[in-house]
Chain A
Amino acid sequence: MAEVCLGLALLALTAYAVLGGADLGAGFWDLTAGGDRRGGRVRGMIQRSMSPVWEANHVWLIFLLVVLWTAFPVFFGSIMSTLYVPLFGAALGIIFRGTAFAVRGQAATINEARVFGAVFATSSVLVPFFFGTVVGAIASGQVPVGNALGAPMDSWLNPTSILIGVLAVVSCAYISAVYLAADAAAADLPDMVEAFRRRALGAGVVAGAVAIGGLAVVHSDARSLYDGLTSGGGLVFVIASAVIGVVTLALVWTRRLAVARFTSAAAVVCITVGWAFAQSPDLLPGELTLDEAAAGDATLTALLISVGVGLCVLVPSLVYLYRLVLKGTLQQQFEPLDQRFRPLTASDEPPPTDLPKP
């Protein structure tokens, strides 16, 4: 039963990494889009794509926290107390990112849009970096069992953790570019398809290079993690992830963007599962096994029952949301972010006649 609950946690982690990651990565592209006019279209595309879905995508993180503290309370208490610096940083990033994004949608002048856009974009880059360092600290065995017993800074400011932090930022940017390119294709905006396709290819190559180069870092810095990733089930999934990653690049290259959405998600699934295999049977390497960490059977059963019932409601709701989004029913009309500020009479609320018919 502990394995099933771990599976749930991995599911939540993967969903957050893919869906939440795509939203966080959008911040990276927002940050690097250039000046108002040059970046206006890219930013408009990001605003349009993210608005209806970012809150739902974000809830996967809450779900992950809840599964961890219910099913593996000692694990949760140990990582939260030792890794409080990056986790607090990530939490602050989440506040600023969400609020600034929501506010930018209502901005009335280009200056407001600039300020809130900068906050949104910068914090969107910091969040995956901090979460990446947390994963790195756990995987490289820096977290002992207990209340804040690990090193507050060295546990996450070490080569492996920083590597995974950087990899998280690049991967989010990559997934995000794939998703935005696919959205642009669905919205029939060829210049945006090309803009994000180029970014996806670039970020994909960089992510692959960081991952391969990173193996050398892990080899010297966290030997047991390296061994886990290069043997048995860990190796199988690392190779699978690499293969799927290359396939995704090929799909983006040949403009099969709708399929690339799914393969890029599959690559992330393989990495999280590979990580689980590399650490098996430990949750905190050398400190705490999965069975030691698991809550009692009554709790795990109750958790699985409520998750089962919850999924019966959640899945149809999510399907409904994504269907409406993919059909374009909920999409905001595309508008370069800077454009609505240029003619002074422009309103950010287009009259209903301009809206697409349901």
Chain B
Amino acid sequence: MDATVLLAAATDFTGKFGSPDQGDLVWARETQAMSFIFHIPLVCFGIAFPATVLFMEGLWLRTGDPVYKALAKRWSKVMLILFAVGVVTGTILSFELGLLWPNFMATFGDVFGLAFGLEGFSFFIEAIFIAIYVYGWDRLPAKTHLLVGLPIVITGITGSLTVIAVNGWMNNPVGFDVVNGAVTNVHPWSALFNDYFAHELAHMYMAGYMVVGFTVAGVYAVQWLKGNRSKYVRAGMIVPLTIACLASPVQVILGDWAGRTVADKQPVKLATFEGLAQTTKGAPFHFLGWYDKSDQEVNGAIEIPYLLSILAYHNPDATVQGLDSVPPDDRPGPVNIVRFAFQGMISIGTLLALAGVFYALVWVRKRRLPRTKWFYRLVVVAGPLAIVALICGWVTTEVGRQPWIAYGLMRVEDAVTGAEGLPAVFAVVAAVYLTLAGTVFWLLRRLARRPPDVEVGTPVGAD
């Protein structure tokens, strides 16, 4: 049996419920995508914010300066609000897995479900200790209070770890066999630790620290630019900014690792990043421009010779597999969405990495903060930019995974529900998320406007 026959055999796989009759697949996908886009920035705060808050509280315990306590306490309230919104949006996601993709869950729930079980426990313990931490200010002894923060840091990591493992599995479905169209011989632990697990995890973690660091620092950078040089603003900006500036150059290295794994395991996805129609030796990279499906080439782009081969294999002469290596039905449809998402991610990532290097250089050489206002203007927009890069990254990998829900095995169109009314579901969910986003933004602004003195009961000199 040659490779094409094998692939054809695999594409006949339609899971336990068979192929559904669903004309509105695109709305199921858009609903799911929208829900993730809303939830993922909150995940970043789950990953990276607790450690940042605890660091600030640790500074307070070491120095006794109420400024640090006011910041830590204020941030812990933000953490609780974002966690509450993360709880409800995360619940919606678990519902959507079943409501939108019942055949996927019925067929593979027993393969990757375990990861969500571990996530459930992490989430549970996180909810418990976040409540104790936030409501325990001034009521628990100071050191106990710091200690009850530690489980939040750990579970923030383990919780997202397991969900990322499932996404890794969708891209690299392992830990089972398909015999006569049925999933058998399930090894849930091998499914959990698939080949995509490690790099997706590392890449997402660093993204979490970048998003949180730049977003929080940006809030105080606004004050800084207005001329407020109080210790409160200074500490509120420097701590998260330093974290983000250390993370962003590291992210470039991790991104390179992720890219090379994709080149190795999902060459068609990599070809989509570039819009590479034919398998090419020494492949170039096209910045901007538009991939034309009928011409099968990228028009109006800035061509950088050999760059794709270098990015994918660290070798300018390497051969990069093109979209033509698989039948048209097995290629991702929206090539340009993936291209722009990929280019958006790496452009923003590079910019933020340069900002991080600049900040570190100024610090190492002059032992002071950068003086140019442009740096702080960049910090103000860096948070939103980092969130855009984060979403671009997920669009790159998830739209690049199409048309598969379990890569190379089960198609998204076979996984979807047979139920009606998906456009209406999309409209309702969109309205809900818009309301939710508006409410959260309004609430956080409200919190930020309160003078920090209320957190500690003594003036901390914010102005």
Q: Give A80 to B16 CA distance when docked, in angstroms.
A: 15
Docked-complex contact A330 and B187, CB < 8 angstroms: no
Q: Is A233 an interface residue (CB 8 A)?
A: no
User: CB < 8 Å: which of B20, B102, B106, B132 contacts A321?
Assistant: B132
Q: Which of B16, B83, B109, B186: most chain A CB closer than 10 A? A: B109
For A278-312 the 0/1 string (1 means CB < 8 A from B) is 00000000000000000110110011001100100
For residue A355, which residues in chain B have a CB less than 8 angstroms away from its CB? 138-139
User: CA–CA, A307 to B120, complex, Å?
Assistant: 10
Q: How far is the CB of A128 from chain B (nearest CB, A)?
A: 15
Q: Give 1 or 0 for each of B103-122: 1 = CB within 8 Å of chain A CB.
A: 10111111101101111110
Contact A295 B186 (CB under 8 A): yes
Cβ of B85 under 8 Å from chain A: yes
Contact A56/B99 with A99-B436, A302-B114, A321-B132 known, Cβ cut-off 8 Å: no
Contact A66 B443 (CB under 8 A): no
Per the bound structure, the CA–CA distance linking A84 and B135 in Å amounts to 37
The one of A73, A87, A152 in contact with B108, judged by C-beta atoms closer than 8 angstroms, is A73
Knowing A76-B106, A147-B418, the reply to whether A317 touches B128 (Cβ < 8 A) is yes
Stretch at the interface among B88-96, B228-236, B376-384, B385-393: B88-96
The yes or no answer to A343 lying at the interface (CB within 8 A) is no
Contacts of B456 in A (CB 8 A): 352
Say whether A95 contacts B121, CB under 8 Å.
no
Asked whether B129 is an interface residue with its Cβ less than 8 Å from the other chain, the reply is: yes
From A51, A62, A63, A317, give the contact of B135 (CB < 8 A).
Answer: A51
**Which A residues lie within 8 Å of B9 (CB)?**
none
On whether the beta carbons of B436 and A56 are closer than 8 Å, the reply is no
Question: In this assembly, does A253 line the interface, its C-beta being within 8 Å of a C-beta of chain B?
Answer: no
Of the candidates B88, B138, B139, the one whose C-beta lies within 8 Å of that of A95 is B88
Q: Is the CB of B139 within 8 A of A329?
A: yes
Range of interface residues on A (Cβ < 8 Å): 35 or more
Chain A min CB distance to B104 (Å)? 8
Q: B302 at the A/B interface (Cβ < 8 Å)?
A: no
Interface 1/0 per residue, A39-77 and B, CB below 8 Å:
000000000000111011011011101110111011011
By a CB distance below 8 angstroms, the chain B residues around A92 are 428, 432
A14 part of interface (Cβ distance < 8 Å) = no
Contacting B at CB under 8 A, from A236-291, are none
Q: Please state if B117 and A99 are interface contacts (CB–CB under 8 Å).
A: no
Residue contact A91 to B91, C-beta cutoff 8 Å: yes
- Return chain B residues, CB-CB under 8 Å to A306: 114, 117-118, 121
Query: Which of B94, B98, B436 touches A62 (beta carbons < 8 Å)?
Result: B94
B23 at the interface (CB under 8 A from A): no
B125 contacts A314, CB within 8 Å?
A: yes
CB atoms of A358 and B141 under 8 A apart:
yes
Q: Is B97 an interface residue (CB 8 A)?
A: yes
Asked if A351 CB lies within 8 Å of chain B CBs, one says: yes
Interface pair A313/B125, CB less than 8 Å apart: yes
Collect the chain B residues with CB atoms within 8 Å of residue A220's CB: none
Q: Is B347 an interface residue (CB 8 A)?
A: no
Chain A residues contacting B117 (CB-CB under 8 Å) are: 66-67, 70, 303, 306-307, 310
Contacts of B99 in A (CB 8 A): 80-81, 84, 87-88, 91
> A231 in the interface, Cβ–Cβ < 8 Å?
no
- Is A69's CB under 8 angstroms from B125's CB? no
Choose one: B123, B186, B447; the contact of A298 (CB below 8 Å).
Answer: B186
Task: Assess whether B186 is in contact with A317, with CB atoms less than 8 Å apart.
Answer: no
Do the beta carbons of B120 and A59 come within 8 Å of each other? yes
C-alpha gap A356/B119 in the complex (Å): 35
For the complex formed, measure the closest distance between the CB of B432 and the CB atoms of chain A, giving whole angstroms: 6
Query: Which A300-358 residues have a C-beta within 8 angstroms of B?
Result: 302-303, 306-307, 310, 313-314, 317-318, 320-321, 324, 329-332, 347, 349, 351-353, 355-358
In whole angstroms, what is the CA distance A321 to B136 when docked?
11
Q: How far apart are the CA atoms of A66 and B90 in the complex, in Å?
A: 13
Q: Of A101-109, A180-188, A203-211, which stretch is located at the interface?
A: A101-109
Which residues from 408 to 443 on chain B have a C-beta closer than 8 Å to any C-beta of chain A? 417-420, 425, 428, 432, 436, 439-440, 443
A37 to chain B, nearest CB (A): 25
| B79, chain A: closest CB distance, angstroms | 12
Of A77, A79, A91, A99, the most chain B CB neighbours within 10 A belong to: A77
Tell yes or no: A78 within 8 A of B by CB. Answer: yes
Q: Flag whether B81 is at the interface (Cβ < 8 A).
A: yes
Q: Cβ of B140 < 8 Å from any Cβ of A?
A: yes
- In angstroms, Cα B420 to Cα A148, docked, is 9
Chain B 202-244 against A: per-residue CB contact (8 Å), 1 yes, 0 no? Answer: 0000000000000000000000000000000000000000000
| In contact, A77 and B114 (Cβ under 8 angstroms) | no
Other CB < 8 Å A-B pairs besides A63-B120, A92-B428, A321-B131, 9 of them?
Answer: A147-B20, A147-B102, A298-B188, A299-B111, A306-B118, A310-B121, A313-B121, A320-B132, A352-B457
The 7 closest A-B pairs by CB, nearest first: A70-B113, A77-B106, A80-B98, A73-B109, A295-B110, A310-B121, A148-B418
- Please list the residues of chain A having a beta carbon within 8 angstroms of any beta carbon in chain B: 51-53, 55-56, 58-59, 61-63, 65-67, 69-71, 73-74, 76-82, 84, 87-88, 90-92, 94-96, 98-99, 102-103, 106, 108, 146-149, 152, 295-296, 298-299, 302-303, 306-307, 310, 313-314, 317-318, 320-321, 324, 329-332, 347, 349, 351-353, 355-358
Provide 23 A-B residue pairs closer than 8 Å at the C-beta atoms, listed in order of the A residue. Answer: A52-B135, A66-B119, A69-B109, A70-B113, A74-B16, A78-B106, A79-B98, A80-B95, A81-B17, A98-B88, A99-B439, A102-B81, A147-B20, A148-B417, A295-B113, A299-B111, A299-B188, A307-B121, A314-B121, A317-B151, A321-B132, A330-B131, A330-B139
